[in-house]
Amino acid sequence: MKKYLPIVIIGGLVLVGAVFFSSWQKRAAERVIEKSIEKAIKSSGGGVADVDIDRSGDEYEVTYETEEGSLKISSKGELPKDFPNSIPVYPGAKVVGTVIIDELRGGSVSLTSDKDPMDVTSYYRKELENNGYDITSFFESEGTSIISAKNSSLNVGVAVVLDDEIGTMIQISYSPLDEAQ
């Protein structure tokens, strides 16, 4: 066994080095992408931007900040911390993505559910009204529904779409009334 110990130790060090190098390569690739995006924003007249990519496994979060505001895109499966509590979230639905524009101004949340899209649509129409929203428009056609609503401070849009592979997709977008008018 002693004869193989140096081989085991060297093998272990190579493995640790490979994992570290792989992690280093991933971060280096993220920095190249971040800098490329920043350069593209600046050259297109968008000014100076700071882009940060944070990736862990299949989850990611991209933050983009300029003098005019910020944008955060995430697939971490969580509602944004400032998500308005007056906007209902379908029970059992899974958060699959978020987009936040200057956290206080507005954003969008993508969810999936295994429930029938008609049930999901009915839920949103009822719960939005129960939470003080006026339904301002409604469209429905072949497994797709779009609801527009507003209360005294927010505009809300809910799209419900049936996808053969994913199931029922729910897209909730929201913004303050003064931003949308």
pTM: 0.72
74, 97 contact by CB (below 8 A): yes
Whether residue 58 lies inside any domain: the answer is: no
- Write out the DSSP string of 18-55: HHHHHHHHHHHHHHHHHHHHHHHHHHTT---EEEEEEE
Whether residue 37 lies inside any domain: the answer is: no
Tally of structural domains, the chain = 1
Which range, of 3-12, 32-41, 109-118, 135-144, averages the lowest pLDDT?
Answer: 3-12
Residue 129: CATH number of its domain: 3.30.310
137, 102 contact by CB (below 8 A): no
Whether residue 2 lies inside any domain: the answer is: no
pLDDT (0 to 100) of residue 26: 61
Whether residue 113 lies inside any domain: the answer is: yes
53, 33 contact by CB (below 8 A): yes
Read off the pLDDT of each residue in 81-90 and give the average, rounded to a whole number.
Answer: 92
Q: What span, in angstroms and rounded, lies between the C-alpha atoms of 126 and 124?
A: 5
| Token pair recorded at residue 110 | 């993508």
Whether residue 45 lies inside any domain: the answer is: no
pLDDT (tens digit per residue) in 39-85: 776 776 767 777 777 777 777 677 777 777 776 777 778 888 889 99
Domain that holds residue 92: 77-180
Whole-angstrom Cα Rg for the chain: 22
